[in-house]
Chain A
Amino acid sequence: DVKVTQSSRYLVKRTGEKVFLECVQDMDHENMFWYRQDPGLGLRLIYFSYDVKMKEKGDIPEGYSVSREKKERFSLILESASTNQTSMYLCASTLQGIEGEQYFGPGTRLTVT
C-alpha cells in the first residue's frame, strides 16, 4: 500500500514564525502536491513538484515556498506565518501524471495565532 505521511496532525504557531510542514511518500512517486482545504473553497493547490528540485506554483503560492531535495520528501514552508494561513494542509503524491490517482496524507491542521 502507498503511504503518504505528514509530520504533524495538529500544529499551533504564532504569527511571524517560520513553519515547516513535511510530507514523505514511500512509493517512489514522481509527482507531489501541497493543497490547503478551507470550508466552502475545496482543495486548492499551493505548489507541486514533478521531480527532485523541480517545483511549480499552483493557484495560491503567495506566502509559501517548497523544497524537494529527495524524491520521497516534499516540504511546505510558511516563511512568516499569518493568521490567514490557518487551514488544513494536505500533501498528495502520484506516480503518473494526470491519469494517476492521487494518494493523500492525513493532513495537518495548522492554527496560526
Chain B
Amino acid sequence: ILNVEQSPQSLHVQEGDSTNFTCSFPSSNFYALHWYRWETAKSPEALFVMTLNGDEKKKGRISATLNTKEGYSYLYIKGSQPEDSATYLCAFPNTGNQFYFGTGTSLTVIP
C-alpha cells in the first residue's frame, strides 16, 4: 500500500479568498498524479492528470503544480466561490493500474 497524504483535512475560506492544499506521494516510481473534485451528492470528477515534473495545469481559477522529485503537488484556487465547495482528492497510480487515493481536503467557501 502506497502512502498518499493530503493536507489540510478541511478548510473554511471566505468567498473571494485564494487557497491551496497539498498532496504528498512517494517520489520513487512516479508515473502520474491525478486530482479530482467531489461535490456532495455527485460523482468525483477529474480536474487534472499530471505526468511531468514541473508541470503546471490550469482550469479556470484552479491550477495545480507538480514536483515529482520531492513528491508533492499543490492545488490552488484563486478567488474561491461557493460552488468550489467540495472535497478535493489526489490519486497516485502504480504500474499495475492500481490507484491510491488520499483522504481528501474538504473545502467550504463561506459566502
Contacts and interface: CB of A to CB of B under 8 A. Distances in A.
B72 interface: no
A98 B103 contact: no
Residue among A33, A44, A97 having the largest count of chain B Cβ atoms under 10 Å:
A97
Given A50-B97, A56-B98, A106 B42 contact: yes
Contact of B31 (A42, A90, A99, A106): A99
Contact of A99 (B51, B89, B98): B51
| Interface of B: prevailing SS | loop
Contacts of B97: 31, 48, 50, 56, 97-98
A98 B32 contact: yes
B48 to A, nearest CB: 9
B12 to A, nearest CB: 18
Interface string B34-53: 10100000111110010100
A105 B44 CA distance: 8
The range of chain A's interface size is 20 to 34
B32 to A, nearest CB: 5
Interface of B: 1, 31-32, 34, 36, 42-46, 49, 51, 89, 91, 93-104
Given A40-B103, A42-B104, A102 B46 contact: yes
A42 B101 contact: yes
17 contacts: A4-B43, A31-B97, A33-B99, A42-B102, A43-B89, A43-B99, A45-B99, A48-B98, A59-B1, A98-B31, A99-B31, A102-B44, A102-B46, A102-B99, A104-B44, A106-B42, A107-B43
